[in-house]
Structure 1
């Protein structure tokens, strides 16, 4: 059957949004991957499905499918796009707060008044068993693993945290010269991450400002990663590299996010843009 969809992006992290509130089943992994293909399909980092709410008081729930068809537990930029989609649909209020259910938790949403939204992202979890991170009994500021680099063995240092999905954070002197294309997949494949991981490369500019590139599991490098921005700030704040008691600006290739770590409540929130690109229908033969 023809598949109607909305193309959106949040700071360049792009999505295909499907309305499945009528109970329709989500596409299977192969179909998700075909839709996400940038040459033969629509093209996106993730596919988002809008579905009935799971929790009392929520407007809707949504699920996340990576470009390779694998499911994801969290996507901050996707959450903002879902919020904007629900407001435009009339299901959510234009002003004030509302809640939506992601695969990992319920999120409080607040409109920023500039077309963007702030999403409450929950608490960072550092315990290895919760990330999950294998081979380490206790949480550490720095983990070290060995990976092959040609004929030699390289020792990689990283921080690790869960934001509803697993993240590794590597601090670098300059994100422009970071070896993202090699180190990202090497760390994702490592036995230390049994569920793989999103690998962030963070450059600290000041206590309130960082630059970030993220190699996402199931996708590759993206223009932005909201949960990755939260993960980077959480890891760097724990090390004292950024100020955990103020907003931290995170510049990604696709745009800027604003991350706040409320240490008293133990939660993080993320503010940033959400944009509509186009509406279309994809036919069985992949013609969009």
Structure 2
């Protein structure tokens, strides 16, 4: 590291890309403006999310993972980033099994060659836990639509929380819908008081679902691990799939298993380190004051 510059790794999971910073030895603050600058693909480094590795809050975890979306807001979960951090910690500690602490709880990861499997825990299915602004007893399909009342373009999404809120709209043809237009409207719909990640899902077979995702605070991304988990859970609940599903995203495939034994979601997929770099010292001048 030169001077007070801050080192980072650029990583991705199926093209969902991250700037990863190890802040265990140096206290760093990340304002919304700093996060936006780092995430900016023209002036900064460019990423969907900024990931900060911090010392764990208790002895049950190996690392604490803090997550910021590109718009600058902090969020509680990111499946693809969890695999990347799981790989980094497995390499550092010299063992396959790692416990990662997040604002959403403890996540267990296991490195297996080019893939990492993460136990994403038990999904939240009750309307108040997602959360929704009004009561819906059946969250496999809530009353929400865009388009004409008698011929809606998208309607009746399944809603799930897997550390963050997700709405999944089931469609016959992914390419028939422009998620870049519908995504912002649905993300900010009043029924989602904490906003929501919006997915379009096309069932190809009981073991294969194609998905496109508009991520809350990040926009269209090549992949979203928590969205893949949410789609897997919702598909099983609706009877579209069994417990093991290949979720195909624009960046590639994640294997999702919603275990019947304990209702935990297991997500398996790749990780990639693209390059190392340094952030300019003046970005963190106020931290040294």
Q: Same fold judged by TM-score > 0.5?
A: yes
Contact 1:212 1:251 in 2 (8 A): yes
Q: Which residue of 1 aligns with 2:125?
A: 126
Q: Pick closer, same or farther for the CA change 1:155–1:57 going to 2, 3 Å.
A: closer
1:248 is matched with 245
Task: Provide structure 2 residue ranges, at least 5 long, that are not aligned to the other structure.
Answer: 284-289
Q: Where do 5+ consecutive residues of structure 1 fail to align?
A: none
Match of 1:30 among 25, 33, 36: 33
Match of 2:264 among 253, 259, 267: 267
The alpha-carbon deviation at position 112 of structure 1 amounts to 1.8
Answer yes or no: is the 8 Å Cα contact 1:144–1:155 preserved in 2.
Answer: no
1:64 paired with 2:67, answer: yes
Normalised by the size of structure 2, how large is the TM-score?
0.91
Superposed CA deviations along residues 50-73 of structure 1, whole A, max 9, x for unmatched, are 001123232111110000000111
1: distance between equivalents of 2:146 and 2:222? 26
Q: For residues 100-111 of structure 1, what are the structure 2 equivalents within 5 Å? A: 100-111=100-111
Q: 1:89-129, CA deviations, whole angstroms, 9 ceiling, x for partnerless residues? A: x2x3343x22111220101111122x210000011111111
Say which SS state the counterpart of residue 144 (structure 2) adopts.
strand
Alignment of 1:1-288 (within 5 A): 1-88=4-91, 90=92, 92-95=93-96, 97-113=97-113, 115-147=114-146, 156-244=155-243, 247-284=244-281
Structure 2: how far apart are the matches of 1:108 and 1:155?
Answer: 35
Change over 3 Å in CA distance of 1:263–1:278 after alignment to 2 = same
Secondary structure of the 1:24 match is coil
Q: What is the CA RMSD across the aligned residues, in angstroms?
A: 1.8
Matched residues in 2 for 1:275 and 1:231: separation?
Answer: 23
- 1:48 is paired with a residue of what secondary structure? strand
CA distance in 1, matches of 2:98, 2:152: 50
Preserved CA contact (<8 Å) 1:26 1:49? no
What is the DSSP-based 3-state SS (H/G/I as helix, E as strand, rest coil) of the residue aligned with 1:224? coil
Moved over 3 A (4+): 146-149, 152-155
